[in-house]
Amino acid sequence: MHLLKISITKESYAYRNLLLASLTRYGVCQSESEAQALLPPMRAKTDACRAATSYTLLRYQRFYDQAGRLCKAIAKSPKNAKKKGMDIQIHVQACGDDTVEYSQLIARLYAPQASAVPELIREQAASDYAQLCADLNIATLVEQGQERLYDNDLRRLCDRLLEPYTVGLWTGLSLVLDDTGMAYLARVQKLCNAELSAGTITLSTLALDMSQANRQALARELAQEFDGQLSKLVERCSYTAPNVDAIMKAYELLSAKISQAEMLLGIAIPCQDSQLSAETALMSLA
């Protein structure tokens, strides 16, 4: 068994169309339809603009203005702005030798509704930061936000790809169950290395010492993870119109993971009560 940590730098992105083609070419997915289902849906124009703006402003977290002061762009939205549409207001923090100053409002990226086409509204201080405003071209931001997958998108994609071969332990760490999972992980890493246009994705693994104490500790941690997943299945069974086929499939996959982990550890994972509750809930759906 191996511990897995996924590290993705904030500036990472990949192009959706190139990644879609490579998911099958590198043997990570068996078909284009399977690959398409794993990718997040294409963003609407407002969401695309918001995502691309966040990425663009990463370049302005440390820059110098015409007076030689160290500056940082700051983007804020009024309370509840996201519920109504988009209203991203951009200021700049400038640090002198003895002072810290904040600019007047430079620009707003505004859309009255989520379905509306955003617009860039240049404000009073826009002329002081012309390049920053130029980099906030709406058409470019929308295009980039729809064509690119950014760091959070890529993390969710990695999690989805590796889910059949791993079990979560702690935040940011999971357990690769066997050599098949390690081989698949190597293909995912090769894909990431080939298709990233910026940034890095690192899938780091550490072989575990399978002493009796370590196996018992892992069994306890896995039990907590499996208990949580089984409880969610029980909750799904109580829905007004539960998707029985999907719930049954999820339970079968989870049971297989539990059996596999027990076989590899050589000891029982103490989640029998949760398994019994899930099986009882499933029987009530029959």
Enclosing H/E stretch for 286 = none
Distance CA 122, CA 176 (A): 50
Residue 145 belongs to a domain: no
Question: 216 Cβ partners below 8 Å, 6+ apart?
Answer: 267
Residue 96 belongs to a domain: yes
Quote the pLDDT of residue 132: 94
pLDDT in tens, 29-76: 989 899 999 999 999 999 999 999 999 999 999 999 888 889 999 999
Residue 114 confidence class, pLDDT cut points 50, 70, 90: confident
Give the end of a domain, one of 130, 161, 195: 130
Residue 138 confidence class, pLDDT cut points 50, 70, 90: very high
Quote the pLDDT of residue 217: 87
Give the end of a domain, one of 77, 105, 130: 130
Residue 169 belongs to a domain: no
Domain count within the chain? 2
Quote the pLDDT of residue 81: 54
Distance CA 275, CA 133 (A): 56
Q: What is the separation of C-alpha 167 from the centre of its chain, rounded to a whole number of angstroms? A: 17
DSSP state of 65: -
DSSP state of 136: T
Helix orientation angle between 244-265 and 212-237, rounded to the nearest 10 degrees: 170
DSSP state of 152: H
Work out the number of other CB atoms within 10 angstroms of the CB of residue 88: 23
At residue 209, φ and ψ (nearest 5 deg) are -75, 120
Report yes or no: 48 and 141 within 8 Å, Cβ to Cβ: yes
Residue 134 confidence class, pLDDT cut points 50, 70, 90: very high
Residue 133 confidence class, pLDDT cut points 50, 70, 90: very high
Q: What is the pTM of this model?
A: 0.78
Q: How confident is the model over 7-28, as a mean pLDDT?
A: 93
Is the pLDDT score of 101 beyond 90? no
Is the pLDDT score of 255 beyond 60? yes
DSSP state of 126: G
Residue 278 belongs to a domain: yes
Strands (E), the chain: 2-8, 13-15, 63-64, 70-76, 86-95, 100-102, 107-111, 119-122, 148-150, 166-170, 173-176, 196-198, 201-207
Give the end of a domain, one of 91, 113, 130: 130
Residue 226 belongs to a domain: yes
The parent domain of residue 243 ranges over 212-283
Quote the pLDDT of residue 173: 82
Quote the pLDDT of residue 82: 55
Distance CA 250, CA 285 (A): 14
Residue 191 belongs to a domain: no
Residue 251 confidence class, pLDDT cut points 50, 70, 90: very high
Distance CA 187, CA 169 (A): 22
Is the pLDDT score of 8 beyond 90? yes
pLDDT in tens, 197-249: 999 999 999 888 888 888 888 888 889 889 999 999 999 998 988 899 999 99
The Cα-based distances of 170 to 162, 179, 205, 227, 275 in angstroms read 16, 21, 14, 14, 21
Residue 223 belongs to a domain: yes
Residue 113 confidence class, pLDDT cut points 50, 70, 90: confident
Q: How confident is the model over 188-195, as a mean pLDDT?
A: 93
Residue 98 belongs to a domain: yes
Quote the pLDDT of residue 169: 76
